[in-house]
Amino acid sequence: MSTKLKVKSLKWRVEPLVAIPLPSTYVIWLPLIWGSGIVESMKRVQLLIDGHPVTVAFDENSIHVFNAFPVKDRLKSRGYRWNALEKSWDFYDGNVEVELARLGADDAVTDPAPAVAEPPADGLPESVTVSQLRERIDSILRSALPAALWIRGVVASEPKAYRWATYFDLRDEDDTQDMVFSCEMRQAERQRIEQRLSVTGVAAGLEKDLPVFLQVEAGLSHKYTINVRLRALDIMPEFTRERLRSQRDLTVERLRREGLLELQKELRLPMLINRVGLLTSALGTSVRDIMAGLSPLENRYRIGFLDTRMEGSGAVDGLIAALDFMESNPTWRAHAVVIARGGGSEQSLGVFNDYRLCARICRCRIPVLTAIGHEKDLSAAEICSHFTPTPSTPSGVGRFLRERFLDLQNRLGESVRKLVERFSEAHRLQKERVGARAQLLPRQGSKRLQWESSALRNRMHDFMRSGMRMNRENAYRLKELQRSFQLRVGTFMVRERESLQRAAARVDFRRLERLQDNAGAKLLDLVKETESGAERFMSKATDGVQARANLAQANHPDRILEKGFTMTFGPDERLVATAKAFRALPWARLRFFDGTERVERKEE
């Protein structure tokens, strides 16, 4: 929604300031500029409201009631708003004629309309040049507005610095309001503003997306397209600092409302942190500060470094991508991730108040430690990371990792010491227990021996009685078995004798003799054939072995050298096989069958 002023004439004059309500959280005071045609034709009447005389100025768009203090409650109930500068009650919402009738304007006496000025003698209407119009409008603005006024907004562009001035755009705090003012900042004002921002630690200077509370002077530009330009005179850095901190609080509150803020607390830091993922800029000092804090235990950790943008545009997306990489990389399973950034202004550290980055930190399945800024700096990212030590600086995180390793080392040493003490105590108690039992052993052994001897005698008596009983039983069984066996053998012999007689009658002894003779002849033939094959195999094997021995003897290096060949060895005692390799050697050794000679390269 925007407020538009309709102007019916190019001839201007300025009425005093009025407050125009806007749909934002604050009110900007603007000059109410009326066209001369409207002002010339505005009617003025004297009315009696509840018996009190008031002066009313009106046109088709608005009503202005003066001297209306006695009847202000009635006007307020009808929607009139008090204009402190104009000292009038103003009405803009509705039909002016109907409202005047309700106030009793029909009985009022109106002032006569002013006479219209006669045109000049040449017949042309009164006019001005472009520069004159610019000067007149500029004069109107400067006379209508205070010499310096305060305005809230957000820097909408990167400031462009020139030798004479710096220029930037200023937008509304409400992102939905698509409007900007062109702003100018002279060198003196720029130095003062940057100094105030730097002293309070808010920012090094004006930057894009920086919320500001500026003291400005309104006027028109001098060259090219003429527009309203604000000249920045001063700044209130405390406002910027509180806005940046409020952004942190808004992010933390939103994460808490969505149930994300405590997710990192559900994770656990490993007792022994070995692999650490480090997200920081290679241009900063964070890596050096962390290593200095780790000293002299920096070699105890494996640190995976990712060069990541830590401020400006793209920093949030870069950090989110780096966290995704650390979480999903199968070759580098980090035990913890450290987001490190050295000190800076609150504006440069505003990246770590971004909701998307903080939400990603909360959802990360790896414990995240933050080392951002100085000890006094607190960001939403640090609040999301419940493992961040104190102080939460790069050197502080390095010392935290070092102290954690030393603490683990001390705890292990203490555990080993306690374990040794417990083993020693257990050994002492066991030794005492063994000694006590050793003293009781002779008496207990004597009692045990007596008991065992008595038990053994009892068992011997029982065994003898059982043996005698078993002997009697076995003798009886043996006699029974003997009688049964004799009976069965007699029966078997009679039956088998008859079977043998019948089988002997059927046997052909001559045929058995022929089969035996044939089997013996075949066995002799097989033995002779086996001996002949073995002799042939041994002869062939002997010939093959002799041939291989002759071949090996012929290929022996000494035999080759006797034939007039030589072997070339390099300085490393390796055989040189090619001419190219030989040419690359500074010297070589030639081996003959009766000795060796060294040859060196002669430089030409």
Label each residue of 222-288 as H, E or C: CCCCCCEEEEEEEECHHHHHHHHHHHHHHHHHHHHHCCCCCCHHHCCCCCCCCEEEEEECCCCCHHH
52 strand-pairing partners: 49
Residues 500-504: what's their mean pLDDT?
76
- Three-class DSSP category at 489: helix
41 φ, ψ (degrees, to nearest 5): -95, 0
Fold annotation for 248-406: Rossmann fold (3.40.50)
Per-residue confidence (pLDDT) for residue 367, from 0 to 100: 92
CA 133 and chain centroid, separation: 59
- What CATH class does 130-245 carry? mainly beta
The CA distance from 362 to 327, in Å, is: 13
Q: Which residue has the tokens 């939905």?
A: 176
Q: Which residue has tokens 């500026």?
A: 214
Give the model's pLDDT for residue 120. 54
Per-residue confidence band for 36, with pLDDT thresholds at 50, 70 and 90: very low
Residue 23, C-beta contacts closer than 8 angstroms, at least 6 positions apart: 1
pLDDT beyond 70 at 218: yes
CB-CB contact of 316 with 354 (8 Å): yes
Task: Please determine, for residue 9, whether its predicted confidence score (pLDDT) is greater than 50.
Answer: no
Pairing of strands 368-372, 336-341: parallel
Report pLDDT for 3: 34
Query: What span, in angstroms and rounded, lies between the C-alpha atoms of 211 and 153?
Result: 6
Helix axes 394-506, 286-294, angle to 10 degrees: 70
Q: Are 357 and 396 in contact (CB under 8 A)?
A: no
What is the structure's pLDDT at 166?
92
| Higher pLDDT, residue 456 or 51 | 456
How far CA 468 is from CA of 455, 472, 478, 531, in Å, comes to 20, 6, 15, 67
Assign residue 502 a region: left if phi > 0, alpha if psi is -120 to 50, beta otherwise?
alpha
Q: How many residues does the chain have?
A: 604
Each as own residue / partner, the long-range contacts of residues 167-174 (CB below 8 Å, 24 or more positions apart, any chain) are 168/206, 170/212, 170/214, 170/230, 172/24, 173/24, 173/25, 173/211, 174/24, 174/25
Q: Please state, as a whole number, how many other Cβ atoms lie within 10 Å of the Cβ of residue 290.
A: 29
Looking at residue 41, its pLDDT comes to: 47
pLDDT at 212 over 70: yes
481-489: long-range contacts at Cβ-Cβ below 8 A with a sequence spacing of 24 or more?
none
Task: Please give the Cα distance from 151 to 142 (Å, whole number).
Answer: 16
Most confident of 207-211, 212-216, 377-381, 551-555: 212-216
HEC string for 142-165: HHHCCCCEEEEEEECCCCEECCCE
pLDDT tens digits, one per residue of 236-281: 888 887 877 777 888 888 888 889 888 888 888 888 888 888 898 8
Domain spans, the chain: 42-112, 130-245, 248-406, 558-600
Q: Give the per-residue pLDDT at 32.
A: 34
Cut 0.75: pTM above it: no
Name the token pair of 341: 């950034």
396-425 average pLDDT score: 87
The token pair at 567 is 């072997």
